[in-house]
Each structure stands twice: as C-alpha cells, then as structure tokens.
Amino acid sequence: MNTKALLLALITVIIWGSSFAAISSSLRGDYSPGHLVLFRFIIASLLFALIAMWPGVKFQLPKKEDILSILLLGWIGISVYHICVTFGQMSISAGTAGMLIGSAPIITTIMAVFILKEHLGTIGWLGLGFGFIGIILIALGTGDSSFHISPGVFLVLLAAVATSIFFVYQKPYIKNTTQSN
C-alpha cells in the first residue's frame, strides 16, 4: 500500500472528524457563524495558495465553457456546505451534525443513480433504506419529546445535499482532467 496516500488519508479523516467539534467549540467562544466561515475560508485559501506555488505542482486550467459551471459547483459544494453546517450547529450538537453529514453518501448514491445512470443492486437499495431510517431517527432525536426537529437538522441536511450535488456534477470535469493527463 502507498504509505504517502495512507498518511494523507489519515490526516484528512482526523481533520474532517474533528471539524464538527471545533465548529461547536468556536461557536461557544467569540465567533459568530459568519465570522467562523470566513475565518475557515481565509485559512483554506492561504493553504491552497501555498500548495499551488509549491515547486513541481502542476495544475490544468479548465476549458472556458466549463468555468461558469465549475464556479457554481464550487459555490454549492464549498460555500453552501460550510455555511449550512456552521449555522446548523448553532442548534444541534457536533455529534448530531457529524452523523447527519454522514447522510451525504446516501444522497450522493441516489443522485448518481438518477442523474449519472449508475447501477445499484438490491442490497444497495436496502442499505440506502436503512441509512434513511437512521437519518430520520437522528433528526427526531434532536428535538423535545413532541417530535420537534431542531432547525439545525435542516441546515446540516442541506449541507449534505450541497456536497452531494458537488460530487455528482463534478464527475465529468474529473473525467476530462484524468483523460488529458
């Protein structure tokens, strides 16, 4: 196994897994949700600028006709995602947010079946059904005993939909990049 890829995957999982707790902690501190999102975007922009300037890093500019679509996908998959997750965590816990974001693969799979015409077998559909039951139980568990669902649930689920849109609709652009290298 590629040690570098494994190390990078481990770092990604650690950062991703701790982000929900970091958001909750920051929201209890001196940051408003909008300031927190802005701060995260500034840090990410600086890191990506450093990576882009790193010697030996090569990147390919998109085709002119793809730029608008790529910008729209970036706005949905990055901006909408982070804004909804951060504002959503004002009324739900980090654990609940993390579990609800875990619905993104379910949403992505359903979108891929209908939009990209991907195939899903019987066991896959059963797995999706169990996943949706889990999402419903988590959502119902966020409110009081009258089955009230916290508003943060809807925002975090919207973030999961946004990231699913981002994943599904970027596939043609990834194919173009891998084919031209």
Dihedral angle sign, alpha carbons of residues 29, 35, 37, 42: negative
The stretch 39-54 carries a mean pLDDT of 91
d(CA 162, CA 77): 5
pLDDT score, position 177: 54
The stretch 63-70 carries a mean pLDDT of 92
User: What is the value of pTM for the model shown?
Assistant: 0.83
**Sorting pLDDT into bands at 50, 70 and 90, what band is 90?**
very high
Q: Select the highest-mean-pLDDT range: 83-87, 91-95, 149-153.
A: 83-87
Listed by start position, the domains of the chain span 3-180
- The answer to which of 57-61, 103-107, 160-164 has the lowest mean pLDDT is 57-61
Q: In terms of C-beta distances under 8 Å and separation of at least 24 residues, what long-range contacts does 132-140 make, across chains too?
A: 132/103, 132/106, 134/99, 135/100, 135/103, 135/106, 138/96, 138/99, 138/100, 139/100
The stretch 146-169 carries a mean pLDDT of 89
**Sorting pLDDT into bands at 50, 70 and 90, what band is 99?**
confident
pLDDT score, position 59: 79
Report the C-alpha dihedral over residues 81, 100, 93, 150, rounded to 10 degrees: 90
- The answer to which of 11-15, 27-31, 136-140 has the lowest mean pLDDT is 136-140
Q: Is the pLDDT of residue 169 over 60?
A: yes
Q: Is the pLDDT of residue 174 over 90?
A: no
The stretch 36-54 carries a mean pLDDT of 91
CB 82 within 8 A of CB 41: yes
Q: Mean of the per-residue pLDDT values for the chain?
A: 87
Dihedral angle sign, alpha carbons of residues 31, 97, 172, 60: positive
pLDDT score, position 29: 82
The stretch 22-34 carries a mean pLDDT of 88
**Sorting pLDDT into bands at 50, 70 and 90, what band is 122?**
very high
